Chains A and B, each alone.
Chain A
């Protein structure tokens, strides 16, 4: 449902009207999601400040409120006041503070509005504190009392209610697949080329980011073309194909479990043997790493990124690529959830070295890369849109310094932010997925 149709009480009004019961609820949910390990982290920050220069928010804004240690302290002081012996008895001694409505307002601004959960502070922390995990946990406590900024919450709600985060009807999905199948057949010159739907027993089930079907379908045909060239045995599900999971961003484990659980159910119903995730950073992190925790179960099948599959096709000679077809200079943006937090680091580089003439790295790169600014649900939270563009300046500068004509990134969320950075900072680059680049370099063998 469009946001404008929802009965609106502003987030600020909601915070002002919180009761002591609501505040207790926030603390209960927060406490319930803290493991011993993470409770220990909350006692560990040495306030060394090294994290400041790791954060794209602080580097661009120079606002002390954007220093990761400060963001963490917003949570720590509440933890100490409620769950730590000294904090309860002598709060001023350890900087403990009660969770008031004023502090909750600051939590909303800090935890949702000054963090993209990119994890760069975590790898630069001298104590090894997993700061984004703690911020996500506190976001989840706010979610329990309805304090998630509207666009982010409505994206979760739409996904839970409609089965995908853009509310695409099944009829529209099927019609789009049929249309793209015709486009694929024209492209490869084979009327038998398929985008299979509900093919029972197919080796792998592929997923997409709904924005591909809704607005940017070229990456779907590109993936279809790669599968066609490799002779892959694959299928889409007619019902559950959404790789995204904004439950990772609003911190609501129950909603997150519902979304990821649907992919598992679809795969099992179709008797597929491998779940293949589209180019989506947070979708990869959610479904590859977090979902078994949310669902409290072990998966009996592998979960891989399409990048791993494409890299395998190249290694085993299942597809043939001609880099001469991609002459423009290309640089690669590393999505935080896929690379730093997801562990898929070299596959995309291996693939691009086989599909483009000239690949230049931005600096820093791989797990040290800067966030584009669009992660953590930032794209969905209109209220923080200006900040999102402001903190994306680092990424814009990184891109400019490469002199590249094309920016490739295996994440649709990053792509949208990069498109905005392209416009705002006048970068004059093309922005593409890895699949699109590979599809363009494919030499279709008979």
Chain B
């Protein structure tokens, strides 16, 4: 099973690189996931606005937000979100925000 290091702690990922225990998420974990899963060496303010919006939505509702909400909440266009997260909103942005894998064709 893959794992990442954040704040000196080992974080377990599932076979698809999603966090096994979403409550272990931190900004350091997001950075480590960005490197491991999206091949990004650093995260910009735009990345963080998406990640923080998704994370806060998830912590409140225990659900991933619709991409419509992510655009509104982060103030970014759909095209920009796809550029920022090459694997898309689910396997890119939601994964970096420490969400579990959603159900469905993803």
A contacts, CB < 8 Å to B: 1-5, 151, 154-155, 158, 165-168, 172, 175-176, 179, 209-211, 213-218, 244, 280, 379-380, 382-386, 412-413, 416, 419-420, 423
Q: Are B16 and A382 in contact (CB under 8 A)?
A: yes
Contacts of B102 in A (CB 8 A): 2, 166, 214
Please count the residue pairs between chain A and chain B whose beta carbons lie under 8 angstroms apart in the complex: 96
CA distance A157 to B87 in the complex (A): 26
- The yes or no answer to B22 lying at the interface (CB within 8 A) is yes
Instruction: Find the residue from A168, A210, A211, A280 having the highest chain B CB count within 10 A.
Output: A211
User: Is A215's CB under 8 angstroms from B89's CB?
Assistant: yes
Bound-state Cα–Cα, A423 to B86, Å: 9
Q: How far is the CA of A196 from the CA of B99 in the complex (A)?
A: 33
In the complex, A151 Cα to B89 Cα: how many Å? 19
CB pair B105 A5 closer than 8 Å: no
Q: Are B99 and A155 in contact (CB under 8 A)?
A: no
B21 to chain A: closest residue by CB: A4
Interface residues in B, total, Cβ within 8 A? 29
Please tell me if the beta carbons of B67 and A214 are within 8 angstroms of each other in the complex: yes
Pick the contact of A215 from B21, B67, B86 — CB < 8 Å?
B67
B104 at the interface (CB under 8 A from A): yes
Take A155-B104, A209-B105 as given contacts and tell me if A217 and B68 are in contact as well, using a CB distance cutoff of 8 Å: yes
Q: Are A211 and B68 in contact (CB under 8 A)?
A: no
Q: Select the stretch in B27-35, B41-49, B58-66 that faces chain A.
A: B58-66
CB distance from A210 to the nearest CB of B (A): 6
Instruction: Kindly list the 4 A-B residue pairs having the minimum CB-CB distance in the complex, ordered from nearest.
Output: A385-B15, A2-B100, A166-B104, A155-B103
| Chain A contact surface mostly | helix
Q: Is B40 an interface residue (CB 8 A)?
A: no
| B66 / chain A contacts, CB cutoff of 8 Å | 168, 172, 175-176, 213-214
Chain A nearest CB: distance from B11 CB in Å? Answer: 14
Contact of A165 among B64, B88, B103 (CB under 8 A): B103
B52 contacts partner chain A, Cβ-Cβ < 8 Å: no
Does B50 belong to the interface (CB within 8 Å)?
no
B10 on the A face (CB < 8 A): no
**In the complex, A209→B106 CA distance in Å?**
11
Q: Does B76 contact A (CB under 8 A)?
A: no
Give per-residue flags for B93-105: 1 if the beta carbon is below 8 A from chain A beta carbons, else 0.
0000001111111
Residue pair A211, B104 in contact (C-beta under 8 Å): yes
Known: A2-B22, A165-B103. A214 touches B15 (CB 8 A): no
CA distance A419 to B82 in the complex (A): 13
**How far is it, in angstroms, between the C-alpha of A32 and the C-alpha of B31 when the chains are bound?**
52
Q: Mark B79-93, 1 if CB is under 8 A from A, else 0.
A: 000000011111100
Question: B residues within 8 A CB of A419?
Answer: 87-88, 91
- The chain A residue sitting closest to B99, CB to CB, is A2
Q: Are B104 and A218 in contact (CB under 8 A)?
A: no
